Structure 1
């Protein structure tokens, strides 16, 4: 079961540019003040219905079942709101049919669907009917008024890392990324985050698969020829004199320190053998790990990602301690720990209970300035559909990830 959960987490986090986009966690309930976050959880009562759009059949039906169990756990067994379970079959057409059924039944809020393409299919119908959607994709491009992608996105991770690097005086960013959907999503996130914080545009190199491509891209990114070339030219010229003085001069010139690269932060997104190859090639092209901070995706949290090759690297992810209540309750009910994707449905259903207990304006409650605190920590839903998250920063160590910068607990944290 642990291996299955790990597969789901890595699959979710690496599909940022592909159709099947979903990653993250969250969960939490009492109002803690107008400007404070609302903790979420399985308490309280309501009588209206909320729809949940899931692939109960089709190739992703196993994920649909996991998400349904988590949502049911959040709803509780009391006289709470009925959960209107609608099968999407895992397709955009199925999702459109499901949302039409939810509208016809008068459901007040939509949880799901699972993927980016399904969300795109649901959005215009839900918006036309004035029904908010808490989707399970992490595709931030699906964000729009009334449609909130809840998955933890590359944008959220990279923004947190850029802010943490800035706090240490690091301002020059570069990236060496795979030429995949995930790599392109990480590149776009870095470009957006540096622009938002007033930093210079990052230098980004994409590489195709294979050691030769990685080597060429790393050499190009490091500006190796221009940094080392002049020194090597002087050494060659001194040796060409063919004298003892020339040989001594060549020896002295060869000791000249290589100028550092133009960046002090390097974003990587590879895993496995490719990440190990990159880690091995960086020193060869004079990228000094003591001077250049490596940052990367949250999937590096697991050693099977190959992250052991980049000890000292940073990634941003939820504070793991925030998930303890969900883990305890889910394990007690279903006899196994919750897979990572369970957090999405648990927190979405918990938010639904906040909505259904209230007689106020749904949009105003969803976009309350204080946001919510759930099983992935604090998050807010902006009126434009963007989701802001409080993520912690971890450093990869020999014994496992170590938190070096805690997650913010409210919207009061500057720059987040």
Structure 2
């Protein structure tokens, strides 16, 4: 006998798998609050959330998914991490229960398992296209030596090739000391070499005029700009601030080099306090909707939410939207072409398990940020 998709009270039961204990408990709690807020706003009478603690552990996540499905869950929201998602996918797949996972790892996406978090590639494509439209042709990248940095770098290479640009430089740095990577990227010694040669030649004259000339060159000479028009920085927080501060030291200035960032910049409202980041472009979810969600979250819970709380809101809102229209979660109903609207704007789940989101193009200003191009409101507009 097939397992019922709707409980006796007429509600769709949605498992919510989160790390509610352990080192990531605070994030898990914020995500639980975000999902709960979605139901308060649009579906408390149609969806029953079933929170389950994974502790961030793949084995516990699989056991939590199995328990929730045995209790009647028609959809699984979560878990948070890629390793957990791989374990949950096996359990849910065997029961034919769809999963809306919160990981950012696109490798976990597959039919039946949708990655609803912000994927690295679409925001990268958005800023690369904008930079190319503004005249950039030569691109460079400076990324951290971690999984996110590698994902962003690979996406950047593809995006640059697709817009007809050229990757001229790329560097990977360790978090402990980015200085050597920035120096290599800047080719500082090579760009300065002709000036140093002129200074040495003037001093070699051994005259007062030669010394005067050397001092003048030292004072007035300008190092030529780098051999790239746009530079992607794939970091956030204090680490991004530290990396950006090194750029002018090696004469990488904006302009002439357009600094590009990732959605990690959206979590840095004071990014403009770092002069090297002023004028940087990044793509992120609908700014107006995100700000409205953050205000609503602060009103309800007294704290500012991490962006993943908005992702949890979106997943719960998708379940509520289906329940409200009398639909049960399935591959067909989850991938409807018009998509859904959540805290982070419009989102559409694709048959391969990835997602598409409407993204704003945003510029860092000294006093905050400025939306250069607003996010689309419908999926018949351009989507990256």
TM over 0.5: yes
Q: Deviations over 1:115-139 (max 9, x none)?
A: 2221111112222332211111222
Taking the TM superposition and a 5 Å limit, the aligned residue runs for 1:81-230 are 81-201=47-167, 203-209=169-175, 213-230=177-194
- What is the match of residue 260 of structure 1? 225
Q: Does 1:386 align with 2:371?
A: no
Give CA-to-partner distance per residue, 1:311-351, whole Å, 9 cap, x none.
22222222332135545654565565655432222211110
Q: Distance in 1 between matches of 2:130 and 2:302?
A: 38
RMSD, aligned CA:
3.3
Q: Which residue of 2 aligns with 1:10?
A: none
Q: Relative contact order: is structure 1 or structure 2 higher (C-alpha 8 Å, sep ≥ 6)?
A: 1
C-alpha displacement at 1:113, in angstroms? 1.0
**Structure 1 counterpart of 2:257:** 292
The aligned length equals 370
- Unpaired runs of 5+ residues, structure 2, are 1-8
Alignment correspondent of 2:308: 341
Normalising to structure 1: TM-score of the pair?
0.76
* C-alpha distance in structure 1 between counterparts of 2:55 and 2:179, whole Å: 43
Match for residue 322 of structure 2? 355
User: Which stretches in structure 1 are left out of the alignment for 5+ residues?
Assistant: 1-44
Q: Partners of 1:327 and 1:260 in 2: how far apart?
A: 40
Aligned partner of 1:66 in structure 2 is 30
Structure 2 CA distance for aligned equivalents of residues 177 and 148 of structure 1: 27
By how many angstroms is 1:404 displaced? 1.8
Mapping of 1:365-380 within 5 angstroms? Answer: 365-380=333-348
Q: Work out the CA distance in 2 between the residues paired with 1:74 and 1:274.
A: 33
Does the Cα contact within 8 Å between 1:194 and 1:202 map onto a contact in 2?
no
Decide whether the 8 Å contact of 1:51 with 1:109 is kept in 2: yes
Q: Contact (CA 8 Å) 1:307, 1:396: kept in 2 or not?
A: no
Distance (whole Å) between structure 2 residues aligned to residue 361 and residue 75 of structure 1? 16
Q: Shift of residue 208 of structure 1?
A: 2.9
Partner of 1:347, secondary structure, is: helix
TM-score normalised by structure 2 residue count = 0.82
State the partner residue of 1:314. Answer: 281
Partner of 1:21: none
Q: Deviations over 1:295-325 (max 9, x none)?
A: 2233334256685232222222223321355
Residue number in structure 2 paired with 1:405? 373
